[in-house]
Amino acid sequence: MTLNRPPRLQQGNGLRSVFGNIRDFVDQVANSSPARLALIVYAAVVLVFAGLLSLPIAAADGQVTPLHDAVFTAASAVCVTGLTVVSTAVHWTFFGQAVILLGIFIGGLGTLTLASMLALMVSKRLGVRGKLIAQQAMNNAGRLGEVGTLLRIVITTSVLIELGLALMLIPRFMMLGEPFGQAVWHGFFYAISAFNNAGFTPHSDGLVPYETDEWILVPLMIGGFLGSLGFPVVMVLLERGWRYRNWNLHTKLTIEVSLILLVVGALAWGAMEWNNPETIGGLSVWDKMLNSVFASVMTRSLGFNLVDMNQIEASTLLLSDALMFAGGGSASTAGGIKVTTIAIVFLAIAAEARGNRDVTVHGRTVAEGAMRVAISVIVMGATFVALAAGTLLAISGESLDRVLFEVISAFATVGLSTNLSAELPPEGKYVLCILMFAGRVGTITLASALALRERRQLYHYPEERPIIG
């Protein structure tokens, strides 16, 4: 007598077969190109979250959110940008806001880290290829055998920092009259949004009511600045402490350039807006200084705003463009072309001006390959911005300064806006979606691909120097 297998076993075999197929697909793509795996994983996550946000349960009116608005919001959340086309507090239900918050948390971990976690969940182990992917995600921080531990450190550090920020914010929201449950939700929402440099706000009027409240603004600045340093820097600080001489070159350059941009940005922004009655002109001296520092941190990638971006001076708008394009640290939750890219290019310019053949800093020589990658990232970023700006100018008919600000904000995953995103037709919103995706994935993927394609060349052509300049 032949007995049929119980349905549970058949179902289990079916699930194992599905997971096996997923594992084989992940392994096949990873073997061909880790960068391609990152693109596929990130695109898939954006589409999944867009589908969730399209559900009637996600919208406050119980209707299906238009596809272009759902895709835009999902891309903005997963790419930790913060640009919005509908009010986060008004349009989305608690479910919708929770989906956005989950997208921010996942997107903040990074594409290759997410791919490594997927491989680990599917195959129950992290093989050599998965470890290489994870190591690449963290900019080759640590030895290959330590990658599993480093992944756990990345996730644990993110959760602990976000928890600490929430514990600082929750009591303040309660003191301002919010019920306990609402204060907890707002505290965690702002904590996750700040550390991941997302810029989403659960209040309909954003942070404007708190423009003079340092008990809210300071934790947000701390969280955004820590998130912009990058996981490799955080791991070095955890492992080697705060002694400057023990840091590696990447950590030194990231922290130095980040502090320089923070100070210069605050001084310049404050000087330009000091007497502007539409922004900070009517505030006290202390509040003007607080707003200036806050704006300097926000324009680097965080994206919260205390003033109407349409009311700032034209020179301040240009300064914001430059700070947004610079961004934060490599392998961080911030966007932009990264501060180490800027550092290497300026060091190369200084070396050329002095007539030095080698680019040196802190007793180390910067590899020529790193300089080529830095130049490639800057050129590619400028190309993305130029093409998108030209396209949006044709679509919207708006002024160049407003379009350029929105485009750089999208590419650098900042989230500051002149409200142009909400005013664009669907095709304009899709352009910004592509730009957010490219800004979050493109420069990192290009840099990784260029590094992986480096090969030994057994011959050299005769050297000849063309006239430059």
In one-letter notation, the amino acid at residue 200 is F
Residue 69: is its pLDDT beyond 80?
Answer: yes
∠ at Cα 226 (181, 89), nearest 5°? 35
Residue 228: is its pLDDT beyond 70?
Answer: yes
Residue 11, SS3 per DSSP: helix
User: What's the token pair of residue 136?
Assistant: 């690449």
Domain ranges of the chain: 13-452
User: What's the token pair of residue 11?
Assistant: 């179902």
Average pLDDT on 173-184 reads 95
> Is there a contact between 95 and 103 (Cβ–Cβ < 8 Å)?
no
Residue 452: is its pLDDT beyond 70?
Answer: no
User: What's the token pair of residue 313?
Assistant: 């001076």
> Is there a contact between 253 and 340 (Cβ–Cβ < 8 Å)?
yes
For the ranges 214-223, 230-239, 316-325, which has the lowest average pLDDT?
A: 230-239
Average pLDDT on 69-88 reads 95
Which tens digits make up the pLDDT trace of 21-42?
555 555 555 555 566 667 777 8
User: What's the token pair of residue 323?
Assistant: 């700070």
Mean pLDDT is highest, among 154-158, 187-191, 298-302, for 187-191
| pTM (two decimals) | 0.86
Residue 254: is its pLDDT beyond 90?
Answer: yes
> Is there a contact between 385 and 438 (Cβ–Cβ < 8 Å)?
no
Beta carbons within 10 angstroms of residue 127's beta carbon: 13
Distance between CA atoms of residues 58 and 99, nearest Å: 8
Which tens digits make up the pLDDT trace of 419-432?
999 999 999 999 99
Average pLDDT on 213-227 reads 94
Per-residue pLDDT at 330: 84
> Is there a contact between 83 and 417 (Cβ–Cβ < 8 Å)?
yes
Distance between CA atoms of residues 116 and 177, nearest Å: 43
Dihedral-angle region of residue 454 (phi above 0 means left; psi in -120 to 50 means alpha; beta otherwise): beta
Per-residue pLDDT at 468: 77
Which tens digits make up the pLDDT trace of 128-157?
444 544 554 554 444 444 455 666 777 788
User: What's the token pair of residue 410?
Assistant: 């999208």
Per-residue pLDDT at 1: 45
Average pLDDT on 95-114 reads 84
